[in-house]
Amino acid sequence: MEGNQQTDRPLSHTTPQGEWQADEPLNGEGPAGGQAVRMPALGGIVVCADDFGLNEAVDHAVLELAAARRLNATSCLVHGPSFTQNASALRTAGIQTGLHVNFTEPLPGTSICMPLARFMRQAWLRRLDGAGVEFQIQSQLDLFRQVMGRLPDFIDGHQHVHQFPVVREALFRVLDRAFPSGIRPWLRYTRAGQLTGLPVSQRFKAAVIEHLGSAALARQARRRGYPLNRRFMGVYDFTGGQAGYQRLLQAWLAHMQPGDLIMCHPARQAVTGDALGVQREAEFRVLASDTLRDFMVRHSVPLA
């Protein structure tokens, strides 16, 4: 699968299980920044590594896993210290690349930045500066286009901020200008997939994320013609090491259906100062393992 050029049939209104429900993704047709942007092929899933550009360890993990066909998408922190220098390798990695809208990770060039809890409170009280939020999203989109040489295949948010009040309205204003007609980027929809058998704490966290704006984002996306993934997996508490993550990953993959998205956060090794560093390395080891490869083959888990 190429990042912007796919030979497989795109998602349609009908699946082997029947017609898509009203909250499931639709596709448009036409040019977008000179490139075709499409949702995953029917029968496939998206495995997306977040945070490309955060550091070298994350970037190397993404590129290695892409080469091994263990993931097929990554979302980019464009102000991350390693994004620009590793963008050329990413352009030839053959995976979809997206913009990871950021308001909570303190990176150079991020003018509006605050801890997640405070940002969430300000968003729900609608105390965020809408014009400032829009400017920051526009700046990040412009930088992605400048470095990558094209517009992104999809949009999501660091800590899922893209679906928050004020942010989602600003995001659609920016995207409507960048994609005035034709095919538009798909957006991350955080409605949880089937979580039967997973720990209660993981199901609860997934439900919280879903209820932080997924329905409102989906309504606006449908009105404007932006595709969405079908369901969302990959939420957990970033603990458990390799053994814990392997159990969760296999459970998520076993429950996934065509058009579903699973997020991951791999890194080649832990980096000092990254609170998730140890678990990022555990994720990488699981994703790169022969055990996972054999599981995906045995259960016919197809990447889009």
pLDDT of residue 304: 64
Residue-wise pLDDT for 254-266, tens only, equals 888 989 999 999 9
Task: Tell me the average confidence (pLDDT) per consecutive run of 10 residues in the chain, 304 residues long.
Answer: 33 27 33 38 79 98 96 97 98 97 95 97 97 98 98 98 98 96 92 88 93 97 95 96 95 90 97 95 96 84 73
Helix (H, G, I), strand (E, B) or coil at 143: helix
pLDDT of residue 199: 86
pLDDT of residue 281: 98
Tell me the C-alpha distance between 240 and 112, whole Å: 33
pLDDT of residue 196: 82
Q: What CATH number labels 14-298?
A: 3.20.20.370
pLDDT of residue 36: 33
Report the 3 state secondary structure along 157-173.
EHHHHHHCCCHHHHHHH
State the CB neighbour count (10 A cutoff) for residue 191. 20
Tell me the C-alpha distance between 209 and 104, whole Å: 16
Q: DSSP character for 92?
A: T
Helices (H), 149-212: 167-178, 200-210
What does pTM read for this prediction? 0.85
Q: What is the CA radius of gyration of the chain?
A: 18
What residue ranges do the domains of the chain occupy? 14-298
pLDDT of residue 298: 82
Token pair listed for 39? 């949702």
Residue type (1 letter), 214 = S
> Looking up tokens 């678990």, which residue turns up?
279
Token pair listed for 101? 């809208």
pLDDT of residue 197: 80
